[in-house]
Structure 1
């Protein structure tokens, strides 16, 4: 019989809190200075701590970047997973509305996580292949969601029966990534957001929709 999980001790809670503080501080400094120009000393100075504190939790700057990505990616995907319900879509108009809801979630995400998005899309891919693989895994997850939507649309008759769902999903994600990079450069610009929202939705509907 498995023993019930024991509550964390005070020491364990403090250790977890310190680690979380280091991750948060590193994310802030990476956003301000850039990953490659950040030193360990820059990170720990945010907490008024010494470098020994950092090395009790992480072996390197790269390892703390990985911890940032793991925590941020999970939080960033959650809103989209919550809207992932292709079986509930019965028409092209409903699909457009759902896609619009997802884009609105992207905009809301950018309002709160602009620095994180920039770190993910611009800085992190240049660190090493393993970090790049983490980001590719995210796109694979999102691509699978989009494929599911296109497949359901074909089954229900509002998307073209000859649609290559894999290629369509990659094209849709490509539009999304391009939009993210542009919007990061224009934070809070509602005009740019409205233009991208219209273009992306029109492209999806006209490209995939049944005549």
Structure 2
């Protein structure tokens, strides 16, 4: 008869080992790119044997799915911040929140350029499965965005005629636009302040209730 305590400890240790492997692969992909690393590199960085790697993943490509999931979890945490689970209740709160999100896009590019470069520039060139995985994770953000839009419509500061699903896509596009602008680093003349002001103005104009567009101009 198996010992349930021992079995539970083994499961916890196995999950910890898997997390360590994903973390090691993540760091290597961010610094050297997916094509520049091998299984030996990942195992070595995680401090395990080559054979241990294969207890958890079939090959280097297999672990990439977990790395992509980790990337998006990290991005959601960095960009949405501590208020992610507390939807805004006014247009002033909504616009201020997205100003902070846009600033966090710039901070993310500044502190972790490898992450943004990988997802926006390298990942899509690996294979179609990567694109599908990225789209799956983007849809998870989209669910949160749709919920924010729906609540904004209920509170009356977002246009009641909106299609919440389409408006959620608009919120996602604002994040992507901010990340690309941050990657360009102002080389096109678009400063952080200008991008923040223009994207927030766009959101207020595009999805705000009619009486909110003039009452809540974005800060700059």
TM-score between the two structures when normalised by the length of structure 1: 0.74
Count of residue correspondences: 202
Q: Indicate the RMSD between aligned Cα atoms, in angstroms.
A: 3.4
Indicate whether 1:63 and 2:62 are aligned: yes
CA distance in 1, matches of 2:75, 2:177: 17
* Superposed CA offset, 1:130-153 (max 9, x none): 332221122212222222222223
CA distance in 2, matches of 1:52, 1:98: 47
Secondary structure (helix, strand or coil) at the match of 1:194 reads helix
Decide whether aligned partners of structure 1 residues 157 and 171 sit closer, same or farther in structure 2, where only a CA change above 3 A counts: same
CA distance in 1, matches of 2:19, 2:153: 45
Deviation at 1:26, TM superposition (A): 2.4
CA distance in 2, matches of 1:8, 1:49: 19
Question: Residue 97 of structure 2 corresponds to which residue in structure 1?
Answer: 98
Deviation at 1:200, TM superposition (A): 1.4
Which 5+ residue runs of structure 1 have no aligned equivalent? Answer: none
Range that drifts further, 194-203 or 117-126: 117-126
CA distance in 2, matches of 1:108, 1:165: 29
CA distance in 1, matches of 2:170, 2:34: 29
CA distance in 1, matches of 2:150, 2:15: 43
Deviation at 1:192, TM superposition (A): 3.4
TM-score between the two structures when normalised by the length of structure 2: 0.71
